Amino acid sequence: MSPIVPSQAGALAEHIDSLLRPLSLPERLRAARDAVEGRIVFTTSFGIEDQVITHAIAEADVAIDIVTLDTGRLFPETHDVWAATEERYRRHIDVLAPKTDALEALVAADGINGFRQSREARTRCCGVRKVEPLARALAGAAGWVTGLRGDQSAYRAATPFAAFDAAQGLIKINPLADKTRDEVAAYVAYNEIPYNALHDRGFPSIGCAPCTRAVRLGEDERAGRWWWENDGKKECGLHTRQDVSRVKESV
């Protein structure tokens, strides 16, 4: 497949964005699959949004690969729902892990929990454990489906249904962009979808165990991620500001 030309991809992303708005979730996935030529990858962290999308992929019976990143620091509850998901949908979920040499070098330089020393150290850890494996997961893909929602945080408020991700060189599709937490939870309950037990313990957003805590009353959903950092951007590097705001053809 030829690389996506940014100017053309911007127009395609805007077309998909408008196309998906009036559709149901399974219909959105089918429409995105029809609109994007080439491989589409859905990356799941087994959070509640991702469980909804996995269920909808199965319901819509669309050719979208499902991949997860095992950082080596996940909660046991995340592994439990991973196993339950494969059993429920009779589908193997591909996994990518950090490169051993890079991980060993990171721990040797920063220590096993060195990510708390500084923002730079945390970014290095996320880079080795998540960003680099993601690049391998998306290699050669034309589309990337995510579980981003606009009301997860102020940083993600402008999340579109589709945008051109210049860093990855593909169309990024966010079929839950307009959904609320309550709508997602209701979908899970109605369809009896397996979900992470930590969601019942005050963890709306779940990442690596050392970097995630329960949220307090009045905090946004991602406040429990890297809580020792004081700025409002709670991201690991997988989703940048460009990705979560509308991208025009001029990109």
Q: What's the CATH code of the domain at 172?
A: 3.40.50.620
**DSSP labels, 18-87:** HHHTTS-HHHHHHHHHHHS-S-EEEEE---HHHHHHHHHHHHHT---EEEEE--S-B-HHHHHHHHHHHH
The response to whether 231 counts as a known ligand-binding position is no
The response to whether 125 counts as a known ligand-binding position is yes
249 has a pLDDT exceeding 70: no
The response to whether 161 counts as a known ligand-binding position is no
Q: Among this protein's residues, is 26 annotated catalytic? A: no
pLDDT digits (tens, 9 = 90+) for 155-166: 777 899 999 999
127 belongs to a structural domain: no
Q: Domain count of the chain?
A: 1
156 belongs to a structural domain: yes
Average pLDDT rounded to a whole number, residues 73-97: 98
108 belongs to a structural domain: no
Which domain does 10 fall in, by range? 6-99+137-200
d(CA 62, CA 194): 20
Task: Kindly report which listed range (65-69, 106-110, 127-131, 216-220) carries the lowest average pLDDT score.
Answer: 216-220
pLDDT digits (tens, 9 = 90+) for 181-207: 999 999 999 999 999 999 999 999 999
Catalytic residue among 128, 236, 238, 247: 236
3-state secondary structure of 88: helix
11 belongs to a structural domain: yes
Average pLDDT rounded to a whole number, residues 132-140: 97
